[in-house]
Amino acid sequence: MVEVKLDRITKRFGSFEAVKELSLKIDNGEFLVLLGPSGCGKTTTLRMISGLETPTEGRIYFGDRDVTYLPPKDRNISMVFQSYAVWPHMKVFDNIAFPLKVKKYPEDEIRRRVKWAAELLQIEELLDRYPGQLSGGQRQRVAVARAIVVEPDVLLMDEPLSNLDAKLRVAMRAEIKKLQTKLKVTTIYVTHDQVEAMTMGDRIAVMNQGRLLQVGPPTEVYLKPNSLFVATFIGAPEMNILDASLVENEGIALEGDGFRIPLPEDFRDILLDYLGKDVLVGIRPEHMTVKGVSTLEHVTRSVEIDGVVDFIEALGTDTIVHAKVGGSIIKIKLPGHIPLPIGEKIKIEVDLDNLHIFDKTTEKAII
Ligand code: ATP
C-alpha cells in the first residue's frame, strides 16, 4: 500500500497532448476512479502510473519514491485489463501463480498464496481448468486473483468489467469494491461508466480532453459539479440545461423562454457579476416534481414554473416526464408509476437549493 502522487504530468504523442499537466494525489488504500469519455486520456494516465508509458513532462511518486522512469516490474503494481489477458495454455492455478514464479517465491508459499487469492475470488473449484473452459466472468475473476496474489502496492484496473454482460457487471462491481475494502490496496480504476464510478470510488477524478476537471467524493461531484461538462457527464437522465438571463426586477431572477425563476436574496452576492448577463441554468431531473402529483422531499425552498406534458417514460420504479417549457423539453424524474396525460398543463416545482448556474462562456459553475 502506498500513496500515489502525480505531479503535473503531461503526455505528448508527437504534437498531440493526450494528458495535460495533470496533478493528483491518491491516498494510501484509496479507491480512486478515473472517469471520462472515450479518448480523454484515462488509459494513458494509468499506463504512466504503471510504467508502460513515460510522461513527457512531470513526475510520478509512490510514497517518497520517484518512479517516473522505473520499469513496471520495479514498481510492485498489478494491472487488470478489459480483455482479462489470462494465458489460454495455462491452467487457472498456473495463471494465478505466474507472477509469484517470476518473483521466484518458494513452491509452498506459491500454493498458499494462490489458495488465498482463489478463495477471495471464489474460484477454488476452477484451479485445474484452462481459461477456455471458463465463462467471461470467471476469467475476469482469475485475472483479478492474479493481480492481487503478489499483494501489490498499487492495483490498476482499466475498464475491467466492460466485456461482461449487464447483470454480471453489477455483481462484479460490488465484489471488486468489497475485495478492495478488505485488502485496502491503493486502487486506480479507469472507466467511462458513471454508474461504476459513483458506486465504486472513494473519490472520482473526472477527465476531459486530457485535463482533470474535478476530483472529489461521488456525492460531491454529483451534487456540486464545478463545470457544465462534469454536470452533464454524471447523472442519468442527464441534468437539464436551459438558456436564461439573470435579471434584476423585483429581486433577482432567472428568465428564459417560458419560465421565470425568482432567486433568494442570498444568491445575490455570488451572482453580482452576472446581473444582466446570459447564463446556463442546470436542474437535475430528480430535483423537480409535478405539483399535485408528488412532492419533493427535504426541500426548504422551491419555485414553480409552467410546463406541458410532452411524453412519458414509464421505467417501473420511476417515471420520467418530458415536459415542454417554452421551446425546450426538460425531463423530470418522479418516483413510482405516474401516468400523466400527454398535453396536460402542469406546475413544475424546482428545488432552489439544487439549482446550478453556469457561466455561458467558460462553462464553469457559478452556483
Ligand atoms: P478509451 O476509453 O477509449 O480507452 P481513454 O480515455 O482511455 O479512452 P487514451 O487511450 O488515454 O484515452 O487516449 C487518449 C488520446 O491519446 C486519444 O486521442 C488517443 O488516440 C491518443 N493516443 C493514445 N495512445 C497513443 C499513441 N501511442 N500514439 C498516438 N496517440 C495515442
Separation of alpha carbons 287 and 303, rounded Å: 11
- Res 8: pLDDT: 98
Read off the DSSP letter of residue 297.
Answer: T
Q: Do 65 and 156 share a structural domain?
A: yes
Ligand 1 lined by 205 (C-beta under 6 Å): no
Q: Check if the beta carbon of residue 325 is closer than 8 Å to that of residue 259.
A: yes
Single out the residue of 314, 353, 352 nearest to residue 333, CA to CA.
314
Q: Do 128 and 8 share a structural domain?
A: yes
- Res 131: pLDDT: 93
Atom of ligand 1 nearest to the CA of 43: 7
Q: Do 316 and 169 share a structural domain?
A: no
- Res 254: pLDDT: 97
Ligand 1 lined by 18 (C-beta under 6 Å): yes
Ligand 1 lined by 321 (C-beta under 6 Å): no
Give the model confidence (pLDDT) of 215-260 as tens digits: 999 999 999 999 999 999 999 999 999 999 999 988 899 999 999 9
Ligand 1 lined by 43 (C-beta under 6 Å): yes
- Res 345: pLDDT: 97
- Res 165: pLDDT: 87
For the stretch 177-206, what's the b/e string if a residue is b when 16 or more beta carbons lie within 10 angstroms of its beta carbon?
bebbeebebbbbbbbbbbebbbebbbbbbb
* Residue of minimum CA distance from atom 31 in ligand 1: 13
Single out the residue of 122, 66, 74, 118 nearest to residue 96, CA to CA.
118
Q: Do 67 and 29 share a structural domain?
A: yes
Q: Do 247 and 196 share a structural domain?
A: no
Q: Do 191 and 73 share a structural domain?
A: yes
Amino acid at 135: S
Q: Is the peptide bond before 237 cis (omega within 30 degrees of 0)?
A: yes
* Residue of minimum CA distance from atom 28 in ligand 1: 13
Ligand 1 lined by 361 (C-beta under 6 Å): no
In a domain, 364, yes or no: no
Q: Do 151 and 16 share a structural domain?
A: yes
In a domain, 350, yes or no: yes
For the stretch 227-242, what's the b/e string if a residue is b when 16 or more beta carbons lie within 10 angstroms of its beta carbon?
bbbbbbbbbebebbbb
Q: Do 244 and 221 share a structural domain?
A: no
In a domain, 348, yes or no: yes
- Record the cell numbers describing residue 40, joined without a space: 480523454
Q: CA neighbours within 13 Å on the CB side: how many for 304?
A: 8
Single out the residue of 101, 110, 174, 100 nearest to residue 137, CA to CA.
174
In a domain, 316, yes or no: yes
pLDDT by residue for the chain (367 residues), tens digit each?
799 999 999 999 999 999 999 999 999 999 999 999 999 999 999 999 999 999 999 999 999 999 999 999 999 999 998 877 889 999 999 999 999 999 999 999 999 999 999 999 999 999 999 999 998 889 999 999 999 999 999 999 999 998 888 888 898 899 999 999 999 999 999 999 999 999 999 999 999 999 999 999 999 999 999 999 999 999 999 999 999 999 998 889 999 999 999 999 999 999 999 999 999 999 999 999 999 998 888 888 999 999 999 999 999 999 999 999 999 999 999 999 998 999 999 999 999 999 999 999 999 999 9
Ligand 1 pocket mutation, candidates 13, 49, 188, 212, criterion most atoms within 8 A of CB: 13
Q: Do 265 and 220 share a structural domain?
A: no
The domain tally of the chain equals: 2
In a domain, 366, yes or no: no
Give the torsion through C-alpha atoms of 219, 220, 222, 227, to 10 deg. -170
Cβ–Cβ contacts within 10 Å for residue 256, how many? Answer: 20
Single out the residue of 185, 175, 177, 181 nearest to residue 149, CA to CA.
185
- Res 134: pLDDT: 92
| Distance of CA 41 from the midpoint of ligand 1 (Å) | 6
* Residue of minimum CA distance from atom 20 in ligand 1: 39
CA angle, residues 48, 51, 55, in degrees to nearest 5: 40
- Res 58: pLDDT: 98
Return the CATH number at 272: 2.40.50.140
Q: Do 219 and 132 share a structural domain?
A: yes
**What are the helix (H) ranges across the chain?**
42-50, 92-102, 107-120, 136-148, 166-183, 194-200, 218-223, 228-233, 268-271
Separation of alpha carbons 29 and 326, rounded Å: 50
| Distance of CA 10 from the midpoint of ligand 1 (Å) | 13
Atom of ligand 1 nearest to the CA of 36: 6
Separation of alpha carbons 299 and 288, rounded Å: 10
Last residue of a domain, one of 218, 233, 248: 233
Q: Do 86 and 118 share a structural domain?
A: yes
Ligand 1 pocket mutation, candidates 43, 48, 54, criterion most atoms within 8 A of CB: 43
In a domain, 365, yes or no: no
Instruction: Give ipTM to 2 decimals.
Output: 0.95
Q: Check if the beta carbon of residue 260 is closer than 8 Å to that of residue 326.
A: no
Ligand 1 lined by 311 (C-beta under 6 Å): no
| Distance of CA 161 from the midpoint of ligand 1 (Å) | 19
- Res 191: pLDDT: 96
Last residue of a domain, one of 233, 264, 284: 233
Ligand 1 lined by 13 (C-beta under 6 Å): yes
Last residue of a domain, one of 233, 250, 265: 233
Ligand 1 lined by 206 (C-beta under 6 Å): no
Give the model confidence (pLDDT) of 296-348 as tens digits: 888 889 999 999 999 999 999 999 999 999 999 999 999 999 989 999 999 99
Q: Which residue in this structure is represented by grid cell 400523466?
A: 340
Q: Please name every residue paired with 357 in a beta bridge, in sequence order, or none if there are none.
A: 281
3-state helix, strand, coil in the chain (%, to 5): 30, 35, 35
| Distance of CA 210 from the midpoint of ligand 1 (Å) | 9
> Helix (H, G, I), strand (E, B), or coil: what is residue 269?
helix
Domain around 225: 4-233
